Structure 1
């Protein structure tokens, strides 16, 4: 069937694992992998047991489930790839009990050279086929089965088959206002492949041996569709859609609104699918007009996102009767474990509402860790939760006492602020508030207060498709105000007492300062017990995503240095821009955001705290922050200073240099903790071992040396031994100069450089010329502090 369509798979490995003879399944032959020691398909490891053909199975089980290969050690299947490009990888698993081996006790992972397919196999009640689609760009594919300690791995059958490259698009449209996303390098896992019309299509009826299950199990029962079948009406001739995308049996059946039975039907047909949270998904719709009604126009939805409004199937098929059509969309990741797909009337006033769907495919897209397993999606979050719990228990008695005092002070402060704001509002102006009007208070500590309905409108009623981040405080949505201003909307949990404290802290902190390297506050909303903060929108997301996320191009060393410098300027401004320092307390790569020009801005001030008075050395407070970035002195002694931020920034600097997470449990034990590994490598004189290989050839040795020296100082065990943020900033500027990215000149053996020292967003940029030789031994923090205070006087 494939050959008749002009496609013959160059790679077509079908293996009956653990078998000594070939097995026919429909029109395909699965080859034995135990037919002799010279068999190239036998796993490359001798620590396995081949099962016998007498393994018990039910009469309805496939012949492939009569044998199994069991691995007691790490084992590989190696395949020669004759044609690079997209391939199916299908893994067949079936429950069995053989001697001391029982699938309920199996625990293992499956991976390729580039992707983790299964992080930890979890046995299910019946047989299971896991299907993946990988773009293989080498002449060899290695499938690795890795049993856990005191356990084993197994597989009943596997397939590695090349498929037409056009089957998976190079890119697909993403959720509203996000444009298109490339899929060329991504791995996919089939979540659902459904044939509408209440009928299934077996692999024998598909040119690519795909199983299409009936949609009946996924239908919402609030409205029952009309099931139609007219396979003879499908016409592949004259269109770009062939049976490679879906067979005629799929395009020839459909589920549609039953408007003939009830013309007043005004609801959508909805199908609900279980998906793994934390992943993006590719959704493909298959349509074909096999009913030939007078008009076929409807809306198509994924969750609350209208992916196609007033979708006219006939326009997309050039009005060719029975011509098939498909369209692809990528839905953003969310915390939800369900995905809804709907079709329905575009207008409630439609006389005869209609909507039709013939087939649907949902494929999970690998995450930034090149994994398709949900355990890899939330492992870091779980790790942080556990550490936070341990720290919380250790400091519990202290927190209890402090909480009572803080609660009392907060209540007093809240009453005082409310009274002051009320008086100022009366003195300065009054505003009438309509449903769509923004109310603004004159108090500089309050800022702009948005009505809840305006925020609902800006975020599509908090559409899951617009979620751009999730943190401890709540979800962050992308929004667009009526004046077309893009914003980031952070919505907190209304019942959280900790959330309320963070909400107030962030608004108060952000209202006090404005700086080009600090994310700006636009407004807030506290209606209906909501805690919502609105910030400027940062086009390029977080620094973390760009350092070790597969979705973005690798940043150059120059870009990374400039991001370090921008972040250091923002933190230095916090530490020195007012009488009392502001300590951020949660400095990490996820809280450094990048605008459309990749300029860095420090964000998330919910944990920030005013620094010690001039006659004090520290602030005693409960430990808060993120695991891996916490200052060890603050962690053990609960004494907070500006040097706690310096330590955390030192961790970020290593993160930038190495291009990997701070904690990575998947690495060997000695490399799990980035700081420990990096410091040991430095002491051994092996700094090159930790540098991101993507930039190692870009860095000049003198620039790397300067960067290493200041990073090591930031990570000193004792706070007094660490430099100030002003000193850090000065050294980073020097590292950039040594890299050769700014003008330098030599005069009398001294290096002179132009350093940008003024960063206030509403003042002109000034420069100051310094001689490094003349300033040797002088703390640059004093110089920078003075310049920042001059900026504040100009505001």
Structure 2
């Protein structure tokens, strides 16, 4: 620690614009990335302390270098550059410059000698007083308010990764918000809503409403800030693995402690004697509002800052009145506070990294059987990329092409075999990591129920070449009103059995798909199912059954709540996903649809309430009752076992496969 904590010093703001730096400047600043200058290691890579020459001045800086094996990748790098280049505020960390040199991606920030709030709370055990903690929270809150309101910038920003390790502390102990790699820009001064199919953030701070609905708003940041407030009060991490598994989440632990009448134990012992009862009451009240399950009932970050400033004024008054450390009355306050009834989400600290093989970022030829195409070859195969099959997110376009059956050389339309060529726009960096992961991984997989990768191209645009699936994906048949795309009961069961075979193969090699959903189930001309979409797939260590992740990845409505809440990723996470697919396939309904009648919005809840006598109420009406009622009920019951909250209560993929095959055998 370089100085004593202070609440009186004012923050300092870097005033010069961000600029692109040359690689030799970075090498000079860090003495060729001398390991003795490393001041931190995170998901992005190593951070070095350096001395950068700017004009006639030598400026102390923090240099963050992208690790080529990092799963945060270039998408977050460019998001950070674009975001911080337009943000200037005394409570936002300043980006001094960046370097984009060949494979090197480097960010250069103003140096923050007092590290992060997380360090002082959980690693260094710094003796921060109650008032010092409050002032740090106020500074961070002001930074978030600047982001949310769009003051001084054209658009408001949702940070999307608010946590104590992203609150940096200046030498004056002023708090500054950092790490904008996951941030989302939106219209300023409006309560904007973004519907995201892919959850991103850190376990423990993720808004449960964001998980349930996919709606990302500024109130999602408010929820995360509420978790930070609890960290400050309790001096406990957002997850504490020393507690019972049911209480790993900080919010859950606090909630349970209050229910048990044990409010005293949630307060950090180092500050128990400092807090007046009125301040504690007001602090827990505003924290409770931040953590409300309904975003509409959470305060704005501006309201939170005002409340914290009021608490500081009350605490000052209390301190001045008694001129001594007062005792706080806890017992009378226990019944005054109620936290949200739902279990909270928890995070996993970066020091608890998994024993897991991450799919590599650096692309190498995945297999000798997978062909490397040139850009010209694929241009010929697709008639100069004029035959478009589909358009997707992040600039993805899928083209139709023809290649020779044996050599895979490009051929004329109608000759050879048909292929699907997926192109990722080189200017869109958001999904480059997922592309590399999928291409590297799928070249190693061989199973009749896994989509076959035929080749790839890494010239200019990133492209992958797959076997062509003429019936495209299952969602186009299940979630549609088009009566010409009707699937019989038997065909649906065959498709589900095919998916189960594919998952059984993956699980046998310790690979978790992590994104099983209708649109990733592809169908050939005979409606045989093949799993695709391996951009989020993870190998689990051979000796482990569970792995721990610090970043949440997957599709919102299918996401396993145990994985979401604990960071525990295992084979049963795929089972949960597959349960959603089962329900959607047999009902023709999406997992979540707020337009459905009350009580039916959530398909899992709706299906859970259905008895065997009225199973028809939930079945796809396009089946026109052409299915055995008992089989339908058994399918729904099986699906509900898949979506059990605890993974230990879900069946294995082998049990699932056996059950589906038995149901199909009785149907035939």
TM-score normalized with structure 2 length: 0.45
Q: Specify which structure has the bigger relative contact order, considering alpha-carbon pairs within 8 angstroms and separated by 6 or more residues.
A: 2
Q: Which has the higher strand share?
A: 1
